[in-house]
Structure 1
Amino acid sequence: MQRFRFSILLLVVFISGLIQGALIPLLSTLIERDGNPAWLNGLNATMLYLGVIVSAPLLERFVRKYGFRPTIVLGIILTALATFFLPLWPSLLMWALMRFVIGFGDSALHYGSQVWVTSASDKRSLGRAMAYYGMAFSLGFAVGPLIAPLVDLHFWLPFLVLIVFCLASLFLIFKVDNEYPEAEKVKTDSKGRIRLVLIGGGYTLLPAFTYGFLEASLNANLPIFTVRNDIGLTQTSTLITTFIVASIVVQLPLGRLADHFGKKRILQIVLTLGTLVFAIANLAVDHYVWLLVLFALAGAGLGSTYSLGLAHMTEVLPRSLLPTGNMLYSISFSVGSISGPMIGAFWIALPKEVYFLMYTLILGILAVSLFTAKAKPIDI
């Protein structure tokens, strides 16, 4: 795809990752400081991903009718407005509502960019293109948690920083011309398209679920887990940032390997590695330095799960089904993201030595699924 347009989309994706990376641990920490129970904190965090789920079917129709750029613009405006209202009305009910709006807006921003990139990329270099895409999102997600401690300087400060980034992305996206998804050769309704995607490559949605579970639970539950085990907010932010930075370092090499050896094979390898790393983490829960090392290894192995899974889905589906495939991929990601904080909130009540067993089980199940599943050809 055109290099200038691709660069702009990467910047927009960076901002999408930054917003998520900042707001999830920031709001979770503030709610925990107010003495609210962990389950209520987890429930509040799920509103972001509920917004993503609700938006996904609507955005598929929106992007087919109006194109990629208006979809991204809609997302930026909704996200900026909701972020402004968060510090204006600091209450659990209002934050839940604004998180829903942010989820809707961030989904539009992310979805429009994601479908645009997958639709315009050459399948022979798709792994590399999605690696850059994943790197942009991961870099934003890595910077995001570092914004959270700004709340200790001034309550409004982190929110204002995020609003500025939203306005910057709005300016950037108007630098590129609008485009539309490829039209279907044979017209089908929404249910028919969903059925085709699920039959032809439903298993390709599993990496999105797993990455969503991992990302959301680490950001929403890990701060609570570490606070209860005498690890400070800065150290917690460093753990999360280490995970993301490690994933950034290996995104492009893994993308090139995926283009050469196959996306599915590389996914199988990294998920197996991640399962082993989190199994070991259960033994190192009281040793911060070892946790830091293990988070680096986990990030290197698992940080590309979303982009590799998306690249694999894109090579399995015809281009006319990519908006539907991306919609289902976003929903799968959001279901994982909702499950993560909710399951994690109850898992925290268990002995701390088994906290990371949650990730071991999820990753192990996905790894086994990918070793056994096969794609079916879709004729449309």
Structure 2
Amino acid sequence: MTDDHPLPLAAKERNSATSLRDASIPWAAMAGIIATVTVFAVAQGLTYPLLSFILERQDTTSGLIGLSAAMTPLGFIVSAPLVPALSRRIPAERLAILCSVLAALTLAAIASMQNVWAWMPLRFLLGFFANPLYVISETWLVSLTPASYRGRIMGLYSSIVSGGFALGPLSLGLAGTEGLPPFLIGIAAFLLCGLIVHAVVARLPAMPQEGEAISVASFFALAPLLLFAVFTAAAFEQVLLSLFAVYGTAFGSDEQRIASLITCFITGNAVLQILLGRLAERFGSRRTLLFCVLICLAACLLLSPSFDTWLIWPLVFLWGGVSFGLYTLSLIQLGERFTGSSLIAGNAAFALVWGLGGILGSPATGMAMQIIGHHGLPLSLGLLSGALVVVLMVKR
């Protein structure tokens, strides 16, 4: 009985504290961060299928197309270990603007050439310049987000950014895949990204530096399961963006339908992430992660039988949502478990592993398709999904 009065009082204090925290949420800063990455995603979402279509018309082998696509994630890998140190030496907003301008110049150089070998180093530079902006933006966002809103806000972030990726392939249906117009869209998007950062720079926080500084390599021992999930999400996205055009061509589909299916895949990302974030808040991010991987595995099994039917559209939509959900849920867990310098190292490690997923996933899948045919795409992704399911079940 002596505890009857203190409990309601404590509840009121908690509610009051929550209200104060909610009132102080920097919505303007978070909106600027999300807008920046979204515009950047438009350019990247356009680049992958555009270059794949061009190489396909040049009768380039699927293995070489996959290798070319892997150059961008290789840039992610090489730049990732440098980001924590760079963020301590260069103001984060300046670094983000610089990366936006350099990415635009790199895409302009790609547009001026039509050779797969000339594109290799340029696509590497595109990933090298893109990665710091993603790491900086996600560190800003995770550090600003209150724990009680983390699932929804990170889901909203992933949804809006995925919408940017969806606009990339969709723009190919309007601008086409020949000549300068599609490249000009990407260049303009990269430059607009830098302008947005400049516009909101006064509202952006400094990079969190509290706690003992750890390297990206050291972070691998702290969260191996999260990194494997990010690897899987990256492999799905890179393979679908770079090789789905080749896969669809094997079924006799035209470029317009394939681009629309890629857009449907990324639209699933955009629509479902808030729901997945809400599910993570209710049932836990780990359980929701396992649910997403199981759906990914089922979609791999159903892709080929349903490709020429109307079922391909809802299947690809759901597949897109849950495959990118692996990254969203990993990002939520990152914010739950890490702060300060370890948060920056964690985001950089995510970027490195994302690059690994792309650089290994695209060539491996491309070679599988070259050896056993177009079914190599769902087979490769299905094996990866199955491995993640096993790891998640064992670690329960």
**2:380 maps to 1:358:** yes
Distance 2:50 2:309 in 1: 21
1:168-207 alignment runs, 5 A limit: 168-176=192-200, 177=202, 178-186=204-212, 188=213, 190=215, 194-195=217-218, 197-207=219-229
Gaps of 5+ in 1: 375-380
Distance 1:108 1:96 in 2: 20
Distance 1:121 1:64 in 2: 22
Of 68, 73, 77 in structure 2, the residue corresponding to residue 49 of structure 1 is 73
Distance 1:346 1:354 in 2: 8
**2:354 maps to 1:330:** no
For the residue of structure 2 that corresponds to 1:30, the secondary structure is helix
Q: CA deviation at 1:151?
A: 5.7
1:54-69 alignment runs, 5 A limit: 54-69=78-93
TM-score normalized by the length of structure 2:
0.88
Distance 1:82 1:244 in 2: 24
For the residue of structure 2 that corresponds to 1:175, the secondary structure is helix
Whether the aligned pair in 2 keeps the contact of 1:8 and 1:173 (CA below 8 Å) is yes
Q: CA deviation at 1:353?
A: 4.6
The one-letter amino acid of 1:368's match is: V
| Identity %, equivalent residues | 26
Distance 2:94 2:379 in 1: 42
The one-letter amino acid of 1:175's match is: A
The aligned residue for residue 131 of structure 1 is 155
Whether the aligned pair in 2 keeps the contact of 1:216 and 1:341 (CA below 8 Å) is yes
The one-letter amino acid of 1:342's match is: P
For the residue of structure 2 that corresponds to 1:174, the secondary structure is helix
For the residue of structure 1 that corresponds to 2:311, the secondary structure is helix
**2:180 maps to 1:156:** yes
Gaps of 5+ in 2: 1-24
1:1-380 alignment runs, 5 A limit: 1-149=25-173, 152=176, 155-176=179-200, 177=202, 178-186=204-212, 188=213, 190=215, 194-195=217-218, 197-285=219-307, 287-349=308-370, 350-353=372-375, 355-373=377-395
The one-letter amino acid of 1:128's match is: R
Distance 2:175 2:357 in 1: 28
Q: CA deviation at 1:153?
A: 7.2
1:177-208: CA deviations, max 9, x gaps? 2532222334x453xx642x333322111221
| Bigger radius of gyration | 2
TM-score normalized by the length of structure 1:
0.91
The aligned residue for residue 378 of structure 1 is none
Distance 2:244 2:319 in 1: 15
The structure-2 alpha-carbon separation of the partners of 1:209 and 1:123, relative to structure 1 and needing over 3 Å to count, comes to: same
1:105-154: CA deviations, max 9, x gaps? 11122111111111221222211121111012200111111223456475
Distance 1:353 1:90 in 2: 29
Q: CA deviation at 1:26?
A: 0.5
Distance 1:26 1:335 in 2: 22
